Amino acid sequence: MSKKHTCHKCEEKLVVTKDAYDVYYHCFNCFEHVSRKEFDEVCCLDPKLHFVKHKVSGGSFQLRKQCENCHRILGRSYPQKEHNMHEIVDSDVIAHQTFKEMRLDNWRAFVANNKRQICEELTEHIEFIDKKIAYMEYKQYLNSKKWKAKRKLVLKRDNYTCQSCLSAKARDVHHISYEHLRNEPLFELVSVCRTCHISITQMDRGREYEDIKVKLFTNSLS
């Protein structure tokens, strides 16, 4: 598996999300979020590059490239003697800055939305099992070597196969009981796929998953 598709914290597979211009990665296991590194000649998902005259300090110009799609002005400069500078238009600095800020806002919104959903689901779990476990404490436990070792043992024991549907590949480990949380025996843990994990959570809670999210979101605004 490619390193860029693997979480640098827990080495689990990252989930890929694409927006209009960028690629985002996030980890369901430890909640890490990673944005795609932008190299000099990579600006967006649909690059359409053309040469522009980019004004620099002192009033001089550099020959650079700007994308017609995302308007990013790339960092590398090119030799001017190889081009007819009279036929090349000036760079659109305002569009570059506007789209840069928009993409940054999109990234921040993506991370905030993911983290809010994680907090909501964890909060509901805490209410359901009647345990006073703070979100950060639970997150710290899921990032611990102890949990990672248990998780790998359970997945290996179940041959990375969902023990609910016995067909899909498992990448989640579900607590059958939270009675011994942090010291749970392995028979209280079971490997499940993402779809079955959500279904089990719905059954455990005794109400629809979407209703829970609406309720939690409403409460967060009050």
pLDDT tens-digit profile of 124-159? 665 655 444 555 677 788 889 999 999 999 999 999
In order of start, what are the domains of the chain with their CATH numbers? 3-39 (2.20.25), 144-221 (3.40.1800)
pTM attached to this predicted model = 0.51
197 vs 165: CA distance, rounded Å: 10
What digits encode the pLDDT tens for the residues 203-215? 776 654 445 444 4
Contact 67, 57 (CB under 8 A): no
What Cα–Cα distance (Å) separates residue 56 from each residue in 7, 85, 91?
Answer: 39, 16, 11
Residues 6+ apart with CB under 8 A from 123: 135, 216
**Would you mind telling me the total number of residues written for the chain in this entry?**
222
- Name which residue leads in pLDDT, 118 or 102: 102
Contact 15, 30 (CB under 8 A): no
- Name which residue leads in pLDDT, 207 or 62: 62
| Confidence bin at 218 (pLDDT 50/70/90) | very low
Instruction: Kindly tell me if the per-residue pLDDT of 221 is higher than 70.
Output: no
Instruction: Kindly tell me if the per-residue pLDDT of 4 is higher than 80.
Output: no
103 vs 200: CA distance, rounded Å: 36
pLDDT at 205: 65
How many CA atoms does the CB half-sphere of 66 hold within 13 Å? 22
